[in-house]
């Protein structure tokens, strides 16, 4: 377990908006003059994003947090195959990610900064190695966990399963953030956040609106207005 102040952001699956929420939280903290770092230790993708950052997600997190660290410090493990890290490594015929090795740059970030936002890859049970999952990594960190979900069809099952796994691994769940909430939600979408909160018995931290183009500053505003930042900071 690493001794640092921060939060681990996971999701109910790929594409639910973990990076948007993580970057939004980092930006909100930065605007409060909190010395924040935002990192994604494990990332995969179809191609390298830029000469500076291999992952688009890392680039967004770095921009939002005002990072000065190198790509290797913020994203020590990147595989150029859009798949779970274990599968990507297998396809590329490369060694699997070193889960314990990813802790070292995180320790450095924790010493250097007052708060660290750590974004996980995919969902909580994404395999990193043959025997280690995202949940194992989150347990090693020992940080409170924020679960990003959506009001889309299927979210009840995905969210409740994620909460159950987090509890089975002994993770401290800070709460849920429901992303991609339509401006004019239908009856099901409107009632989904409250039902998830009730059935999962975890706090509902905020809802983040559906955006035509993801904007972490807009996400930060939603988190601030609903008190999510205060609750995450404790």
pTM above 0.75, yes or no: yes
Residue 122 inside a domain? The answer is: yes
Region 200-210: what's the mean pLDDT?
99
Lowest-confidence range among 1-5, 166-170, 194-198, 219-223?
Answer: 1-5
**Model pLDDT, residue 234:** 87
Residue 57 inside a domain? The answer is: yes
Give the three-class secondary structure for 135.
Answer: helix
In the structure, what pLDDT confidence band is assigned to residue 7 with cuts at 50, 70 and 90?
Answer: very high
Task: DSSP for 68-120, please give it.
Answer: -S-HHHH-SEEESSSS-HHHHHHHHT-PPP-TTTTHHHHHHHHHHSSEEEEEE
Region 161-169: what's the mean pLDDT?
99
- Tell me the HSE value of 105 on the side-chain side, using a 13 A CA sphere: 20
Q: Would the pLDDT of 49 be above 90? A: yes
Neighbours of 118 (CB within 10 A): 27
Region 69-92: what's the mean pLDDT?
98
Q: Would the pLDDT of 3 be above 90? A: no
Lookup: tokens for 189:
């979408």
Q: Which percentage of the chain shows pLDDT scores above 70? A: 100
Residue 117 inside a domain? The answer is: yes
What's the whole-number average pLDDT of the chain? 98
Fill in the DSSP letter of residue 180. E
Q: Would the pLDDT of 1 be above 80? A: no
CATH number of the domain within which 139 lies: 3.40.50.300
* Secondary-structure breakdown of the chain: helix, strand, coil percentages, each rounded to the nearest 5: 40, 20, 40
Q: Would the pLDDT of 127 be above 90? A: yes
Region 200-228: what's the mean pLDDT?
98
Burial 149-188 (b: 16+ CB within 10 A, else e): bbbbeebeebbeebbebbeebebebbbbbbbbbeeebeee
Q: Would the pLDDT of 154 be above 90? A: yes
Residue 1 inside a domain? The answer is: no
**Model pLDDT, residue 55:** 98
Residue 180 inside a domain? The answer is: yes
The span from the first CA to the last CA of the chain, in angstroms, equals 19
In the structure, what pLDDT confidence band is assigned to residue 168 with cuts at 50, 70 and 90?
Answer: very high
Residue 147 inside a domain? The answer is: yes
**Model pLDDT, residue 62:** 98
Domain coverage including residue 77:
6-233
Residue 21 inside a domain? The answer is: yes
Catalytic sites, residue numbers: 40
In the structure, what pLDDT confidence band is assigned to residue 114 with cuts at 50, 70 and 90?
Answer: very high
Domain count, the chain: 1
Residue 136 inside a domain? The answer is: yes
Q: Which percentage of the chain shows pLDDT scores above 90? A: 98
In the structure, what pLDDT confidence band is assigned to residue 2 with cuts at 50, 70 and 90?
Answer: confident
In the structure, what pLDDT confidence band is assigned to residue 8 with cuts at 50, 70 and 90?
Answer: very high
């Amino acid at each position: 377990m690493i001794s640092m102040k921060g939060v681990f952001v996971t999701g109910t699956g790929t594409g639910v908006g973990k990076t948007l929420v993580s970057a939004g939280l980092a930006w909100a903290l930065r605007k409060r003059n909190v010395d924040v770092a935002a990192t994604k230790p494990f990332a995969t993708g179809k191609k390298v994003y830029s000469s500076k950052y291999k992952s688009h997600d890392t680039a967004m997190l770095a921009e939002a947090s005002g990072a000065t660290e190198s790509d290797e410090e913020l994203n020590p493990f990147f595989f150029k195959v859009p798949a779970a890290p274990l599968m990507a490594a297998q396809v590329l015929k490369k060694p699997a990610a070193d889960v314990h090795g990813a802790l070292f740059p995180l320790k450095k970030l924790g010493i250097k900064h007052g708060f660290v936002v750590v974004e996980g890859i995919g969902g909580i049970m994404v395999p990193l190695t043959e025997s280690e999952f995202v949940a194992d990594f989150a347990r090693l960190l020992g940080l409170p966990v924020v679960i990003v979900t959506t009001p889309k069809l299927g979210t009840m099952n995905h969210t409740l399963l994620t909460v159950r796994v987090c509890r089975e691994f002994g993770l401290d769940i800070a709460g849920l953030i429901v992303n991609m909430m339509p401006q004019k939600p239908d009856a099901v979408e409107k009632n989904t956040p409250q039902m998830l909160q009730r059935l999962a018995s975890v706090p509902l931290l905020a809802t983040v609106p559906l955006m035509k183009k993801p904007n972490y500053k807009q996400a930060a505003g939603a988190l601030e207005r609903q008190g999510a930042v205060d609750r995450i900071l404790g």
